[in-house]
Amino acid sequence: MTVNQIIGDSKNNIFANLGKHFFAWMMTSSSSKHDKNVSDVYDGLRLRKRSLFANLQGKVLEIGPRTGANLPYYPKDIYWIGIEPNSQRHSYLQKQAEKLGLNIDLRIGNAEWLDAEDNSIDTVVSTLVLCSVPNIDYTLQAILRVLKPGGRFLFIEHVAAPQGSLLRQIQNTVSPIWKVIGDGCHPDRETWIALGNAGFSSIHYERFDAQLPIVSPHIIGVATK
């Protein structure tokens, strides 16, 4: 290996690490801003979150918690596991948890490979994550694998607009560039169809309009193993 190659590799590693730190810092504000923006335009979202997370017990695994926007809604007596692939976000999550008096278990992994044993989790939580996973079918199978029999999957996700609508046409048009600038986010993903095909014993969800550009349609619900 030449000196230039070594220097080049070092530069690439430095920029990669800086990028991870910057993205983690950016998510600290953007996650909370998204939550606040949605709450501002849709008054019921915070109440819905409180209701959705109110009766959590036992082991709760959250996929992609980013910087901990959901932590304030969790009961303090649960055992919370966070699967966060970006290790640079872990310090932000830890600080958020300390402020709230929560003990948390942070693990490296991704949505398609959940670092948990089979049939070991009471509840899996996903908020604004299924839109950006590379393969939603693999992700849902991973969720089913770790859930105990009768365990629940709680979700809040933005989804595709109805077929034939103007918004759906816009989503389809901007999807290629949206996925690039949105860290893999699919604005036109039909998440409810994937949920229906995954093999859950029951699925209950409702739709709501968050009045956001492009990704206004949302669903919130519970799927039971």
For residue 79, which of 53, 56, 55 has the smallest C-alpha distance? 56
pTM (2 d.p.): 0.80
Helix (H, G, I), strand (E, B) or coil at 179: helix
Strands (E), the chain: 59-63, 79-83, 104-107, 121-127, 147-158, 202-209, 217-224
Confidence of residue 43 (pLDDT cuts 50, 70, 90): low
Q: What pLDDT score does 7 carry? A: 36
Q: What pLDDT score does 107 carry? A: 94
Record the tokens describing residue 192, joined without a space.
């409810």
Q: What pLDDT score does 212 carry? A: 83
Q: What pLDDT score does 58 carry? A: 96
Q: Which domains does the chain have, with CATH numbers?
A: 3-224 (3.40.50.150)
Question: pLDDT tens for residues 97-108?
Answer: 999 999 899 998
Task: Give the residue-averaged pLDDT of 167-183.
Answer: 92
Q: What pLDDT score does 20 carry? A: 42
Confidence of residue 44 (pLDDT cuts 50, 70, 90): low
For residue 159, which of 113, 194, 121, 197 has the smallest C-alpha distance? 194
> Exposed (0-12), middle (13-18) or buried (19+): which is 42, by Cβ within 10 Å?
middle
Question: pLDDT tens for residues 76-126?
Answer: 999 999 999 888 889 889 999 999 999 899 998 889 999 999 999 999 999
Question: pLDDT tens for residues 55-80?
Answer: 999 999 999 998 888 999 999 999 99
Q: What pLDDT score does 67 carry? A: 80
Task: Report the 10 Å Cβ neighbour count for 224.
Answer: 14
Q: What pLDDT score does 183 carry? A: 81
